[in-house]
Structure formats: C-alpha cells, structure tokens
C-alpha cells in the first residue's frame, strides 16, 4: 500500500504553530513553522505536500546553512568590477551580515516583514540610497539561493504597491523637488567655480568645475583626463580614475563602458590649454608607473596602472597628506616618537622641523614603505574625489563646511572684499571673518553639474541622440534611435549655444562686481567691465548659524551682495 503524506500541526511553547509530515520510514519532515493559527499551519502543510507530489518542493533541511556561509561561496562567483566588488563587501560587512549573517537560509524564507522593517531602519539611520543598495544586494543573494534550490522563495523581493499611498506620494514629491534642485544656471556654475578656486588657493579647481559644467563629464572622468586626450575641439573620454578603499587610484574605462568624444566650446579649450601649460608634458610610453597603484601583482598593475604625470588635473600642494603605503600619520608618529603634527610638517613644511627630528621621521617613513605621492611641483598626482567633493565643492556651492568631529558643520569664514571676499585661513579664522557665503544652490552636489549640462541642452533643443552621446548614456533600443545619427551641424549648434551661455554668464558676473580675486577670472571679466559703472551694495545682516554652534562661529554673517545698475 503506497504511503500517503498528510500534514501534522503542533502548537509550540511560544504560542505559534508548526507543521510537519512523516515519511514511510517514520522520519519527520518539517514543512514550516511560526504560524499564528492552526488553520494557517494546516493550509500551508497541504500546499507543501502538493509541491512534494509535483516534484518542486525544496527540503528545508538542506537550507540550514547560514547567510554568512552562503555569502562566502556566492560573492567570489560574481563577475564584478573592482569598484562594484568593494561596494558589495562594504554593504555585506556593514549592513547585511551584521543583521542576518548568523541566520539560516531556511529561517529567512518567510522573513518578508522583518526585511521590510530592517530596510526602513536603514532609511532612518543612514540614507535612502544606502537602504536601497543593501536590500538590493540581499535580494540578489537570496534570488540565487532560491535558484540553487536552497530556499523555497525569495523574501527580499519587493512587493509592488504596498504601504500608504499618502506616504508614497509625499516621497515622490520630495524626490521631484530634490531633482529640481540638482541643476544650476551658467552663472551659478561660474560662481561655484570661482569659490572653488578661492578655497583651493589656485585656479585648477575653477577650470575643472567649468569643464564639468560645459561637458557633463563625471568627476572621475575629469580626474582621469589625460593630456593627449584633449584637442582644440574635443575631449576623448577614454579613462576614469577610481579610488579603492586601500587608497589606490586605478585607471579603468568610464562607467558602463561609456567611451565617447565630446565637442568642447572654445572657452573650455582655452581653459584646458591654460591648465596644461602649468606642467611639462611627458611621454606616456616612457613615463614611470604612478605610485598611487599599491598592488604589486604584475597582472593588476598592467590592467589598472597608469603612467605618472600624464593627467590634466593634479592634486593640491600640501594640505591633507596621503601616505601611499596605507600607513597613517599616526602610525609614523607612534613609531618615531613624535606627534602627527610633526609628521605632517616633515612632509609638507620640512623647513619647520629640526634636522635631527626630520631625519628620524624620514627614516621611519622609509622603513614603513611610505610615499607621500607628491611630484616635483609639490602637488599630489591626483585629485581625490571624496576630498574634492567634501572640502572644495560642497562648501563652494552651499557656503558651509561639513561636520568633521569634533567640529560641527559651520559656515565658511570669509574676510569681506569684493563680491566673494576671501576665505579666512588658519587658527582663529572664524574670529577674523566678518562674513560668510550664501548658498549658490542649497544642497547642490558636483553631480548636479552633469544635470545642468543635460538641462541646458534640453533648453537649447539639442537632438536626443547627441545629448545621449555627450552624457555617455546608452541609446534607446528603438527603431528611431537605430536610424538616427549625430551630424556636424548638430554638434556646431550645441557649441554655439554653450558659447552664448558662457558669454552671458561673464556679463552677469561682471554686472554683480567688476573684478575677481582669481587672476584668471579677473582677466576673463575684462571685456565686460565697461558695460557697468555703478554697483549698489546690498547688506544682508541675518545670521546663518544656530545656537548649537561654538561661540566663534556665531560671528559669521551673510556677505554683502551687489547688483549692477
């Protein structure tokens, strides 16, 4: 007589119910647990027995491995770029595994509600993008576990149209509002670029900002822009430089393989030519390998290494120091028996350190394999995207330095003078400052300059095919897209429109104030000064600080603004 399977329901001590069935030899087979009622457990049991008969049932006893164990076998099997792999490791180690690493795949099979709660916690404690990325990674891991018959279903799969309609619509409105604030006008881009130069103490960052606004290039593509990829009429976007977690700067193709050539207006070509005149051109074929690639494996260096001194934009001189070996200033200071300030002075201001102390620190650095990665001009070979974004672009766009413990976020201290004033530096800067910057665009980011280029092209009615080519976006897979082509007339129309925007931004800037503290911009304003002879200062005395800031920050006020007549 054939053995007939049927579900058996038991009530557990915690008040929930589990359901099992029995094989012909008397072995119990678990079908599910954690049900709130006997009826639900019984219904689930009959469904599972039906799946057993159909041959699609997954034995939960085979899914007793933990998520950590599954991650160890799953991650190496993924074909990923180095940057993506680092992001996966970061999300796993900081969000996914601390929460679910010790849980078995079997216990997660019906953890939909639990995963939703976890995601909402991440949105509150961190950010919406972090929460979305962490859940997305968990979803991919469990999807593969389900495909490998280690789980019956994927509990991290998002259910569509769940939750409050009101909350969802409010979130959509907030997203639309944030999207509206992600672009600026040509004048706004010029004002931000001018402030960047003031903060950096050189015009390199101003040129980078203007180039980014008028080409739509990504910051990593600009940092990785090589001299031989720039001509008088176009930029060949062939590489980007990407910073790994160990501090290495690797050369790789642009995001999503978006290699492209971007036609540039004359003013961008002139600015880039001015930038390249600051350094001596080197032969990429004979130049030594840049020390910023720390990995010693020949295959790695062959694939991701790059020649030194071939890039248009370099890091700043002095300032925040990076040791290429991964050793920190504190490590060197502890070994040498000095303070981190002394180590920093040895690297950036050696004349301020006693000879015997300097020799001792330099010996320790040599023993630890440290390299400050500065070239003969005293400049680091590359800009660092994170440092550029945090300490140059953000304060230039918003007028505020971000929080860096123990210091809170605070206004950029400004010594009044002209339209922009000049940033006060050194100890007691806030006490010496009499003004601070108003935001050009509140909450604006460097990526907003890409949005700005796209928006300007939309306003100028540039054909969609050319816009996608400039931005490095894939073509739509439509018949129209396949049969459309970019023509020289289209490129010329875009160049004329951008040149007109540049000219107008200089007129608007000259109307606000006739001069600039940046010599390069001051020269660019020369043809437009004579148009305006009177400038009316408008004082804005309201404070932009809150009572929670230290006393010396409370003296910062809005700067004077001027309007030409």
Contact in structure between 535 and 564 (CB atoms under 8 Å): yes
Do the beta carbons of residue 471 and residue 454 sit within 8 Å? yes
Who wins on pLDDT, 440 or 349? 440
**Gap between the Cα atoms of 171 and 151, Å rounded:** 33
| Distance of alpha carbon 288 from alpha carbon 291, whole angstroms | 9
Structure tokens, 491: 């490129």
Q: What is the dihedral of CA 283, 288, 289, 292, to 10 degrees?
A: -100
Look at residue 542 in the predicted model and tell me its pLDDT: 39
Q: What is the DSSP code (8-state) at residue 527? A: G
Q: What local confidence, expressed as pLDDT, does residue 376 receive? A: 41
Rg, Å, the chain Cα set: 30
The arithmetic mean of pLDDT across residues 57-75, rounded, is 81
The pLDDT score that the predictor gives to residue 244 is 84
pLDDT in tens, 166-225: 666 666 666 666 555 689 999 999 999 999 999 999 999 999 999 999 999 999 999 999
Query: What phi and psi, each to the nearest 5 degrees, are found at residue 243?
Result: -90, 125
Give the pLDDT band (50/70/90) at residue 317: low
Nearest of 387, 389, 413 to residue 400 by alpha carbon: 413
67-158: CATH topology is DNA polymerase; domain 1 (1.10.150)
Look up the pTM and report it. Answer: 0.73
- Nearest-CA neighbor of 218 among 203, 208, 230, 231? 208
Q: Which residue has the tokens 């799953």?
A: 74
- The Cβ of residue 405 has, within 10 Å, a number of other Cβ atoms equal to 5
Which of these CATH numbers, 3.30.160, 1.10.3110, 1.10.3470, 3.30.1380, describes 7-54?
3.30.160
Are 510 and 564 contacting, i.e. CB atoms less than 8 angstroms apart? Answer: yes
Which part of the chain is CATH 3.30.160?
7-54
Tally helices (H) and strands (E) across the chain.
23, 14
Q: How far apart are CA 194 and CA 188, in angstroms?
A: 10
Shortest CA distance to 5 belongs to which of 41, 56, 50? 50
Residue 373 confidence (pLDDT): 45
Indicate whether 472 pLDDT > 90. yes
Instruction: Please state whether beta strands 260-263 and 234-237 pair in parallel, antiparallel, or not at all (unpaired).
Output: antiparallel
Give CATH 1.10.150.130 domain extents, the chain: 67-158
The pLDDT value given to residue 61: 64
Element (H, E) at 166: helix 165-180
pLDDT at 237: 97
- Mean per-residue pLDDT, 420-435: 84
Length reported for the chain: 565
**Cis peptide preceding 406, ω within 30 of 0:** yes
């Amino acid at each position: 007589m054939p053995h007939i399977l049927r579900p058996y329901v038991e009530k557990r001590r915690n008040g929930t119910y589990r359901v099992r069935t029995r094989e012909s030899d008397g072995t119990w087979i678990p079908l599910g647990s954690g049900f709130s009622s006997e009826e639900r457990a019984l219904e689930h049991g009959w469904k599972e027995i039906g799946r057993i008969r159909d041959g699609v049932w997954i034995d939960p006893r085979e899914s007793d491995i933990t998520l950590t164990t599954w991650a160890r076998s799953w991650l190496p099997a993924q074909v990923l770029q180095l940057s993506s792999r680092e992001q996966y490791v970061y999300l796993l180690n900081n969000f996914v595994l601390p929460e679910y690493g010790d849980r078995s795949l079997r216990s997660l099979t019906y953890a939909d509600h639990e995963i939703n709660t976890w995601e909402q916690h991440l949105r509150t404690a961190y950010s919406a993008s972090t929460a979305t990325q962490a859940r997305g990674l968990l979803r991919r891991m469990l999807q593969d576990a389900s495909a490998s018959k280690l789980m019956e279903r994927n509990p991290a799969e998002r259910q569509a149209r769940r939750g409050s309609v009101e909350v969802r619509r409010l979130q959509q409105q907030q997203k639309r509002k944030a999207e509206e604030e992600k672009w600026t006008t040509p004048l706004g881009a010029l004002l931000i670029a001018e402030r960047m130069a003031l903060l950096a103490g050189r015009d390199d960052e101003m040129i980078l900002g203007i180039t980014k606004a008028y080409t739509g290039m990504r910051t990593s593509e600009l940092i990785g822009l090589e001299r031989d990829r720039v001509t008088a009429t176009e930029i060949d976007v062939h590489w980007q430089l990407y910073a790994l977690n160990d501090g290495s700067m690797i050369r790789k193709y642009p995001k999503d393989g978006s290699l492209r050539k971007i036609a540039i207006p004359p003013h961008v070509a002139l600015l880039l030519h001015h930038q390249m005149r600051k350094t001596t051109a080197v032969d990429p074929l004979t130049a030594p390998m840049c020390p910023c690639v720390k990995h010693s494996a020949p295959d790695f260096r062959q694939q991701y290494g790059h020649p030194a001194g071939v890039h248009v934009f370099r890091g700043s001189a002095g300032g925040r120091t990076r040791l290429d070996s991964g050793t920190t200033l504190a490590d060197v200071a502890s070994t040498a028996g000095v303070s981190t300030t002394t180590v920093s002075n040895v690297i950036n201001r050696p004349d301020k350190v006693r000879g015997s102390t300097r020799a001792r620190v330099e010996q320790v650095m040599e023993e630890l394999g440290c390299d400050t990665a500065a070239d003969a001009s005293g400049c680091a070979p590359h800009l660092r995207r994170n440092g550029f974004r945090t300490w140059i672009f953000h304060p230039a766009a918003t007028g505020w330095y971000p929080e860096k413990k123990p210091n809170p976020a605070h206004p950029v201290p400004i010594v009044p003078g002209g339209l922009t004033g000049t940033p006060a530096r050194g100890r007691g800067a806030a006490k010496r400052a009499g003004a601070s910057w108003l935001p050009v665009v509140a909450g604006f980011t460097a990526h907003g300059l890409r949005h700005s280029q796209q928006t300007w092209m939309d306003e100028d009615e540039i054909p969609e095919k050319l816009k996608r080519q400039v931005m490095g976006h894939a073509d739509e897979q439509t018949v129209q897209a396949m049969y459309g082509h970019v023509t020289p007339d289209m490129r010329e129309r875009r160049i004329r429109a951008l040149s007109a925007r540049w000219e107008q931004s200089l007129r608007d800037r000259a109307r606000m104030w006739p001069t600039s503290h940046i010599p390069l911009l001051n020269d660019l304003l020369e043809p437009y000064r004579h148009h305006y002879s009177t400038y009316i200062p408008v004082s804005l005395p309201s404070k932009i600080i809150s009572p929670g800031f230290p006393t010396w920050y409370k003296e910062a006020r809005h700067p004077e603004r001027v309007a030409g007549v």
